[in-house]
Amino acid sequence: MVKGEDTVSKKALSFVDAELAGLHEQNLYNNIRTLEGEQGAWVVIAGRRMLNLCSNNYLGLAANTRLKEAAKQAIDDFGVGPGAVRSIAGTMSIHTQLERELARFKKAEATLVFQSGFNANLGVIPVLVGRDDVIYSDELNHASIIDGCRLSRAEIKAHPHLDMKALEELLKADAARPGRKLIITDGVFSMDGDLGNLPAVADLAEKYGCVSMVDDAHGEGVLGSHGRGIVDHYGLHGRFDVEVGTLSKAFGCVGGFVAGPANLIDLLRQRGRPFLFSSSLTPSEAAANLEAVHILEASDKLVVQLWENARYFQGAMRELGFDTGRTQTPITPVMIGDAGKARDFAKALQEAGIFAMAIGFPTVAKGRARIRVMISAAHSRADLDFALGVFGRLGREMGISRR
């Protein structure tokens, strides 16, 4: 290195320390916890066993024995790495089998699997729309939808959350506009647990000649028959054009997919950039996801357990006087309001042996801070009762619950 060069580059990077300091000052710096073992109803953090109310492991499949065995077998059969991107030499029979069986499970013509749900959005949105086109997007849509929309270079028109009148006004105003039009919504909004209005979106898409797309990350394995997702929940098979899903939440492993018409999936194989330019899922991931599909197809036991747990917990929390917001799913926001109070509450929960996170601005609006409790089929009744006992006591002590 030439003398002096390091000091020059250090100067150019001085914004890093300033930005970090800013995050600390505003209390927005996230101290990331490390789990010292597997993901389950209980986790070990800093040597301490805690009840896990934070994860998206809705069905407890992340450490399921059958998924583990399927992953191990795939390592023996296919090795540990795909060796290439899907479009060159990284497509193995375990990937195509997963795609076929996932399509059957989803009741879709075809699916294409990506490395994550995030990548699936980055892959599919720029294939659906481009520079001369327009996207209508709910203001609370997930970050990966927003990034996919930006990558597409289409014009983005956001409408207020779930405001179908406002959406129709935008569509009416653009009625004579040439180019393609895409309406895009989350299936389940992850901070409040409320549902996208898919029936209304399907109607509007048909009326105004738009493509309809839903990102159902928190609905896969949770909503619909056997966890087939939100399109199944609303009985909209054939009326929603594109479904994006994740394999990283209820499915217990990692990955994402697009489900839709066979010709669109065919085009995605030619044009989906994360599919073309980033290596595929490992064989063990594909095999574990395939095993999750088999488990869900064979039985809805875990999905039923998840909903039973969610109803029990949410009902008891309301009885304790907590405000659980507008949730329609196992996502349980415990509304607190003030961000500092929410942080203190999360800290007290953690001291009492409960791993739960406070969520505040900018993830949710100012004054809408909350603890977001994620219920899982893996929780036993005793686990939920333990959580309710702690919430009840701390809620009274800290003046958060109304009773």
Ligand X SMILES: *Cc1c(COP(=O)(O)O)cnc(C)c1O
**Where does this chain bind ligand X (CB under 6 A)?**
116-118, 142, 144, 186, 190, 215, 217-218, 246, 248, 256
Indicate which residue of 249, 280, 379, 401 is catalytic. 249
Which residue, 232 or 383, is less far from ligand X as judged by CB?
Answer: 232
Per the annotation, the verdict on 218 as an active-site residue is yes
In which residue are the tokens 């986790």 written? Answer: 43
CB of 381 to ligand X, least distance (A): 28
SS3 188: strand
Distance (Å, whole) CA 171 – CA 189: 22
26 neighbors 366 (Cβ within 8 angstroms): no
From the candidates 190, 248, 284, 401, give the one annotated as an active-site residue: 190
Residue from 233, 164, 192 nearest 328 by CA: 192
Contacts of 175 (CB under 8 A, 6+ apart): 208
Q: Shortest approach of ligand X to residue 117 CB, angstroms?
A: 3
Choice between 90 and 255, CB closer to ligand X: 255
Residue nearest to ligand X as judged by C-beta position: 117
Q: For this structure, is 294 an active site residue?
A: no
Instruction: Give which of 124, 71, 64 is closest to 251, Cα–Cα.
Output: 64
DSSP state of 329: S
Quick one: which of 237, 236, 242, 255 has its CA closest to 215? 242
User: Residue 49: enclosing H or E segment and its boundaries?
Assistant: strand 48-52
- Decide if 301 is catalytic: no
Q: How far apart are CA 272 and CA 260, in angstroms?
A: 14
Task: Fill in the amino acid letter for 212.
Answer: S
The minimum distance between CB 362 and ligand X, in angstroms, equals 17
At 203 the three-state DSSP class reads helix
Instruction: Count the Cβ atoms, other than its own, within 10 Å of residue 354.
Output: 22
Strand 369-374 relative to strand 357-359, pairing: antiparallel
> Which token pair is 371?
């603890």
Selecting among 95, 218, 233, 379, the annotated active-site residue is 218
Which residue's CB is nearer to ligand X, number 52 or number 119?
119
Shortest spacing between CB 52 and ligand X, in angstroms:
17
> 91 vs 329, which CB is nearer to ligand X?
329
Q: How far apart are CA 81 and CA 160, in angstroms?
A: 43
Q: How far is the CB of 114 from ligand X (least distance, A)?
A: 8
Q: How far is the CB of 248 from ligand X (least distance, A)?
A: 3
**Which residue matches tokens 């490390």?**
34
Q: How far is the CB of 246 from ligand X (least distance, A)?
A: 4
Neighbour order of strands in the sheet with 357-359: 331-337, 369-374, 357-359
- Residues labelled catalytic: 190, 218, 249
